[in-house]
Amino acid sequence: MPVKVYGPDAFTVGADVNLNTYDANWEKVLPADASWAGVVQAKAATDDLRATNASAASYRWNGQTLVGQKILGKLLAGAGDYPGFHARLTPTPGGGANRVLGYLAEWQATENLIQIYRITEPGGVLTYATIASAGVVGNGSTYTGAYLRATGTNPVHLEYGDNTQGPFTFDDSNAARAVSGQPGVSFSDALPISIWIDDVEVWDEDAIAPVGNPWRLAIQQRAG
């Protein structure tokens, strides 16, 4: 039974603070080159996550190692900007051949859909393979309950959607499918006053639920 292991985090702060400083369980990933120079901050004025410049940045949550995982939250979609969630995200050393970097779901207002990518690094080149798309995404629209879920390893079962659409599913059996890694958040081409992500939760989809009262009652009855 899935168990929530983080959040919902409303990112309430008194002053702007980088996400990995706000909570050390968040780690910035992907090469720190020019295209990924963005920094994500918890913003005091709005109590949400925003990128600090027109670039890109991804952060993964490392609070607990997860295989089956789901990350969800509320996000604002905007034309030309791309908020999203990662699943099974692993950092790249920036040159490792064919390193699997995981999955990314972006709410794309420009393309007007939710797009799923498998990110790999064949020959040391970061590559986004478009593996699924669905739904409708509007410019300036807010989506609550937006989520990306990854379970299983062969195939990897992906599920995604939000409170207005889905669930959509995709089974990935490609040799480059991602079988490990952590959930994360993604901002791409984000301007400071544009898109945001808020109320983030992380779920362990492989958790074993604790024994509840019905069992305890049965044991007590048997003992009595």
Partner 1 sequence: MAIRFYLAPMETIVDGRGRRLTRVKYIGALGISLTSVNDYGNEPLCFLGADVTPAQHAALTANADVSPFPVDLDSTVGANLATVQQALESRNLPADDVTVNTPYRIMMRWIIAIFSITTAQPLFSGGVTLDTTLGQLTVAQRQELQAAAQSAGYSTAGLTLQSTIREALRKAVGSAGERTILGVVV
Alpha-carbon span 82 to 64, nearest angstrom: 26
Q: Is 1 in the site for partner 1 (CB under 8 A)?
A: no
- Output the smallest distance, CB 133 to partner 1, in A: 5
Whether the CB-CB separation of 206 and 66 falls below 8 Å is answered with yes
Q: What share of the chain is helix, strand, coil (3-state, %, to 5)?
A: 10, 50, 40
- Of the candidate spans 5-13, 61-69, 87-95, 166-174, the one that interacts with partner 1 by CB under 8 A turns out to be 166-174
When the beta carbons of 56 and 75 are compared against partner 1, the nearer one is 56
When the beta carbons of 22 and 168 are compared against partner 1, the nearer one is 168
* Among 30, 42, 56, 156, interactor with partner 1 by CB under 8 A: 56
**Can you read off the two tokens belonging to residue 36?**
């990924």
* Among 12, 130, 213, 221, interactor with partner 1 by CB under 8 A: 130
Q: Is 176 in the site for partner 1 (CB under 8 A)?
A: yes
When the beta carbons of 195 and 200 are compared against partner 1, the nearer one is 195
Alpha-carbon span 180 to 206, nearest angstrom: 13
Whether the CB-CB separation of 92 and 118 falls below 8 Å is answered with no
Count of residues engaged in binding partner 1, rule: CB under 8 A: 35
Q: Is 127 in the site for partner 1 (CB under 8 A)?
A: yes
Q: Is 221 in the site for partner 1 (CB under 8 A)?
A: no
- Output the smallest distance, CB 108 to partner 1, in A: 10
91-120 residues near partner 1, rule: CB under 8 A: 97-98, 111-113, 120
Contact partners, residue 56, CB within 8 Å, separation at least 6: 30, 35, 36, 37, 38, 186, 187, 188, 189, 190
Report DSSP letters for 170-192, one per residue: EEE-STT---S-EEEEEEEEE-T
* Residue 145 φ/ψ region, left for φ over 0, alpha for ψ in the -120 to 50 degree band, beta for the rest: left
Q: Is 151 in the site for partner 1 (CB under 8 A)?
A: no
* Among 21, 139, 154, 180, interactor with partner 1 by CB under 8 A: 154
Interface ranges with partner 1 (CB under 8 A)? 35, 56, 82, 97-98, 111-113, 120, 122-123, 125-136, 154-155, 168-171, 173-176, 188-189
